[in-house]
Structure 1
């Protein structure tokens, strides 16, 4: 956080000094959700906040004058009419101090990888603030915003959604100048009245980005093509295989440890490689290339830097496993769109081998749960997976649909414990087997993954 004088802050939050000095320097902010306290902390005080009284210095912003007696004389006290309004005035003021590009990324899948790729490309020239892994909830936003200071050159922020209004609130924090919508599929539907409401929330990205900014969209994504583009007055850039794509993806091929591809931009052809398997990784890479290009990094340089990109942990990571098998660890999160991508990778990497898909419950689908799980059963058949193992009651619908569509009952199993899994896999897995484990971070059977990866070959 940039150091700020209390003399500047008081008029911004429309407060007045009850006790203390106006030349006090602030270098940390705390509120009800972010309650870490250090010396020189500006605290927007709410009831039930437990504030230590052994700090050398602290500034309390309050609408309760009587709290002045609760704190040592070394603590500065500022009175405001309403703490929440004062807090938002401060946040808006703090963001307005920095004229930097902010890339906001939303989408059903690919947010984290795209964010990490952009940051990786920018890192040699720029000091970048970014969200940590997939920690993109609203409660984390202030932490990221206050990491921006006078040394920051750019910010790259995931904009996740669980219900209506989340994109608006994140945009209020960060005011993105570049927006990316990776894909629009099916996820977090419990927080929406229906799938159309989920799509509308993603569409709100068009109003979240600065009207003089740029939106980067997936030209091949079904729902993205149906967005109301009139909501955005800035510039559109499209990536994808469609002919109208500005960054046109061609000749995508699986290669050793990753994907080879070609991208055509402004009549120039570029050849690239991205570590990590799956066509979706190529799309994420081209999103990153397009965003970095807007920030002054040439396409050639961006492609070169992605050669050394490290794939995000538990996103289709390959390991040697039980009986010498190959494990594809995709246990960070799960939704129908990412399962389709994972099954495609399993089918491709298991050519000439047996394939096993271990699939868990998909959470937060609400009334769409049964039909979405059944669609996964159809995918298992379409990708000709040899064995199916399901985890959880909801995932049973996957197994039931696969069985209905002709998969032999002898190739379908319901996982009930780690002990059961290990005994089963010891029987059906060998060095000619590829195993996909696709579950969510909340139900990832991490101990099982460790045991599968740690098992002896042979």
Structure 2
């Protein structure tokens, strides 16, 4: 919960006029009415102008409103403060609260990899210090205040995932979090439906440069073509790159799949020298995430040796390329957290590199929020499947049919290409294909996939 603050201290910040109630109380929480949980001693912002706003039966509330006549159920212990513009008062409070703390804040954005990178950074830093971070990939704007209010006197670092699904959302989050270090992991195609064009989506991600401020540091993925082409001419802060590119400040080379230890071996080359590294989880994208995490950690004072050592024990969050024993002795790879063209390429690489002679089956779902780019992006996925030489391709959903068309066009055997639209058809087909000689990748969005498909495919011995 937030740092406790005397209400008397907040009234000038809010530019408010006390209409009723006591001002000698302590504020222990802040909430937007209708969006956040209202607890005892909360500062409640009524941003929506309605004819009737019943207050919850919670003790010691302080209500910020521009329409006091709308309030219902006003108890004796409620303080009512009038302001001309509630939204502006809310932002003044947010700015004031954030200004109370001088601590390193790292912001992470990107089409994919941002959740894992954020978790890796948090894991490294939390060995010795207290870290506030966004939970899983829950980065919706309505949650921002909750995360901000977790910061208190005990907090050493904050690491925030900053997603975007529409214009100006990144700067909106930056207003809350004020990161001094920003990371852009990749710029592909995802959540593009909320933008006029791909260029507008790229421009939104690039706002991380503005988010960290004139004296901030930006850490960029040098292997991403779009990121390499960003205009940095007006950015006056520090720019560092990571990746396999020879010009990267944090560079990985000699990268190898380590099938015995279920992860990736690589050598980190940087200003401080060369370091042998291992990161749990398969895929060169995991190496990229690790480089970003190591780089960001060193920027706030962690020794590279300590960051490298700590990553050995990192544990991935659920449904990020998790391996299971599947039905009939098959190998099952669960990557159902989310799906976009960039993460599909990474998942296909893992499927092929870990197969060890097994027949590879790629189950690929529809990609959401692509708008007018839907067909061309699904076709790119079909091209990837053909390029990676997967043995069997199963595209799930009507909108995924272009995946099949493009894979066939690129030379994949049409008899090995399937489009299914029901769970029954998918499970039937996989039931025929599954064997100890089969490796199955399930790469579909957690929001679109048939909810219990994974459970139906996992062998009973895996289930607790």
Superposition TM-score tier, normalisation by shorter sequence: over 0.9
**Residue of structure 2 in register with 1:22 after alignment:** 23
Aligned residues of 1:68 and 1:77 also touching (Cα < 8 A):
no
The aligned runs of 1:159-170 (5 Å cut-off) are 159-170=162-173
Provide closer, same or farther for how the CA distance between residues 394 and 53 of structure 1 changes in structure 2, counting only shifts above 3 A: closer
Alpha-carbon shift at residue 55 of structure 1 (Å): 2.3
Look up the match of 1:265: 270
Counterpart Cα distance in 1 of 2:123 and 2:54: 38
Matched ranges for 1:6-405 at <5 A: 6-45=7-46, 46-48=48-50, 51-67=54-70, 70-255=73-258, 256=260, 257-405=262-410
Q: 2: distance between equivalents of 1:170 and 1:179?
A: 12
3-state SS of 2:398 partner: coil
Does structure 2 conserve the Cα–Cα contact (< 8 Å) formed by 1:33 and 1:139? no
Offset at residue 220 of structure 1 (A)? 1.6
Distance 1:249 1:51, change over 3 A: farther
- Over 3 Å counting, the alpha-carbon distance change for 1:308 and 1:69 in structure 2 is closer
User: How far 1:56 moved relative to its partner?
Assistant: 2.5
Structure 1 CA distance, aligned partners of 2:103 and 2:206? Answer: 24
TM-score by length of 1: 0.97
Q: Which moved more, 1:187-196 or 1:69-78?
A: 69-78
Normalised TM-score (structure 2): 0.95
Measured in 1, the distance between the counterparts of 2:68 and 2:453 equals 55
Within 1, Cα distance between the matches of 2:231 and 2:451? 42
Residue among 449, 453, 459 paired with 1:454 = 459
CA drift of 1:331 comes to: 0.3
With over 3 angstroms needed to count, the CA separation of the structure-2 counterparts of 1:16 and 1:124, relative to structure 1, is same
Gaps of 5+ in 2: none
Please give the secondary structure, in 2, of the residue aligned with 1:253.
Answer: strand
RMSD between aligned alpha carbons?
A: 1.6
Describe the superposition over 1:249-290 as per-residue Cα deviations: whole angstroms up to 9, x where unpaired.
111100030000100111511011000000000110110001
2-structure distance, mates of 1:311, 1:33: 33
**SS of corresponding position for 1:413:** strand
Aligned length: 457
Deviation, structure 1 residue 406: 2.4
Counterpart contact for 2:122–2:159, Cα < 8 Å = yes
Equivalents in 2 of 1:292, 1:411: separation in Å? Answer: 45
**4+ runs of 1 displaced by more than 3 Å?**
46-53, 67-70, 454-457
Counterparts of 1:209 and 1:222 in 2: how far apart (Å)?
22
How far did residue 52 of structure 1 move?
4.2
Q: Secondary structure at the match of 1:446?
A: coil
Unaligned regions of 5+ residues in structure 1, if any?
A: none
* CA distance in structure 1 between the partners assigned to 2:451 and 2:157 by the alignment: 35
TM-superposed deviation, 1:33: 4.8
SS of the residue aligned with 1:390? Answer: strand
Question: Secondary structure of the residue that 2:432 maps to in structure 1?
Answer: helix
